[in-house]
Structure 1
Amino acid sequence: LLVTQRAHRADLALRAEGADADRWLDIAQAFAGLPGKGRAPKGDA
C-alpha cells in the first residue's frame, strides 16, 4: 500500500488492484490532511 501526503491520488499514476485496495487508498488520502510543509526527514531533526 502506497500513500502520499503531498499529492492527491487522482493526480498520480497510482493504480489499485481490487476494490479493497481502492477503498483503503481513499481512506488513507483522507487522513493525509491539507497540503503543507510536512515533516522534516529524520536525519534533519
Structure 2
Amino acid sequence: HFQNQIIPKRCSLSETLLENRIAGLSENFEMACISGVWTADTAMESIL
C-alpha cells in the first residue's frame, strides 16, 4: 500500500495495530478518504 511507504510506523503499546495505523494515517492525511479493505473482520469492515 502506498501509505505504508510514506508514513512512519507508530508503535504505541497502549493501542492496537489497527489503532496505530489509523492514527498514523490521520496525522499525515487528515480528512482524506482512503479506499480499500481495512480489516479481515467483516463486521468491523462494514463499520469502517
TM-score after normalising by structure 2: 0.23
Look at both structures and tell me which one has the larger radius of gyration over its CA atoms. 1
Higher helix share: 2
TM-score after normalising by structure 1: 0.23
Using CA pairs under 8 Å that are at least 6 residues apart, name the structure with larger relative contact order, 1 or 2: 1
